[in-house]
């Protein structure tokens, strides 16, 4: 089993590679999330998560420049702050409390909610930037297996679009993306 810190390190590194590969003019390109452009994918990640850990665990993450000014630096400062949190030995003793999810060890909450979000949005950013859209197949399979039994709960959250129908023979990345409402 990979630690939450190691999982984030791998997933964030792939997202960072995509962020750094974006041409300056690509940040306004449409993203697969309705109404979003590439810049909004980064904005989403650097906005919701700091509020989540601040309210649930009293953790203040470092803030970089505005995504509108410098999306690369905004992401880098944010990702480095999350990694520092996960690498801090004291994090193992912290919990996150949230009315929707209850009480969880902080590192598990980061892994389950945030790192998964970064992984899924890697595809969105890649698509917006015309970059390689291949996600790790093993990670896709693990996520899909974990998410399938939660279909009703995930749909009710409003965080996922309607499931897109794809052939059962589709590869695991396509099935995962279709499950979360993307049209691969």
How do residues 90-130 score in pLDDT, each as one tens digit?
Answer: 998 999 999 988 999 999 999 999 999 999 999 999 999 99
pLDDT of the residue at 153: 87
CA nearest to 119, candidates 103, 99, 135: 135
pLDDT number for residue 178: 96
pLDDT at residue 158, as a whole number: 82
Query: Which pLDDT band, with edges at 50, 70 and 90, does 172 fall under?
Result: very high
Q: Both 77 and 18 in a single domain? A: yes
What is the arithmetic mean of pLDDT over 148-152?
Answer: 91
Print burial letters for 77-86: b (CB count within 10 Å at least 16), e (below 16): bbbebbeebb
pLDDT of residue 132: 87
Q: Could you tell me if 103 and 156 lie in one domain?
A: no
Do 32 and 86 lie in one domain? The reply is: yes
Q: Mean pLDDT of all residues in the chain?
A: 95
Residue 1 pLDDT > 70, yes or no?
A: no
Residues 36 and 82 in one domain: yes
Specify the pTM. Answer: 0.95
Q: Based on the domain organization, do 47 and 129 belong to the same domain?
A: yes
Same domain for 69 and 107? yes
Confidence of residue 145 (pLDDT cuts 50, 70, 90): very high
Q: Which domain holds residue 146?
A: 134-184
Q: Are residues 72 and 144 in the same domain?
A: no
pLDDT at 77 over 70: yes
> Are 122 and 139 in the same domain?
no
Number of domains the chain is built from: 2
Residues 96, 151: one domain?
no
Return the closest-CA partner of residue 11 out of 72, 66, 82, 74: 82
- The residue out of 133, 148, 174 marking a domain boundary is 133
Do residues 26 and 112 both lie within one domain?
yes
- Over 80: is that where the pLDDT of 163 sits? yes
Of 92, 115, 133, the domain-final residue: 133
* 68, 142: one domain: no
Q: How confident is the model at residue 38 (pLDDT cuts 50, 70, 90)?
A: very high
- pLDDT at site 95: 96
Query: How far is the C-alpha of 7 from the C-alpha of 23, rounded, in Å?
Result: 27
């Amino acid at each position: 089993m990979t630690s939450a810190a190691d999982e984030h390190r791998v997933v964030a590194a792939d997202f960072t590679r995509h962020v750094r590969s974006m041409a300056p003019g690509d940040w306004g390109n449409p993203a697969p999330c309705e109404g979003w452009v590439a810049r909004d994918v980064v904005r989403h990640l650097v906005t919701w998560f700091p509020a989540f850990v601040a309210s649930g665990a009293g953790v203040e993450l470092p803030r970089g420049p505005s995504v509108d000014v410098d999306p690369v630096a905004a992401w880098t400062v944010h990702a480095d702050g999350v990694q520092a949190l996960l690498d801090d030995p004291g994090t193992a003793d912290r919990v996150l409390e949230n009315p929707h999810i209850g009480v969880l060890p902080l590192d598990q909450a980061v892994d389950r909610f945030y790192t998964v979000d970064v992984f899924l949005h890697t595809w969105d950013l890649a698509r917006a930037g015309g970059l390689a859209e291949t996600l790790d197949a093993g990670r896709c399979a693990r996520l899909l297996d974990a998410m399938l039994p939660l279909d009703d709960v995930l749909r009710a959250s409003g965080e996922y679009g309607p499931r897109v129908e794809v052939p059962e023979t589709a590869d695991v990345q396509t099935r995962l993306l279709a499950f979360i409402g993307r049209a691969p």
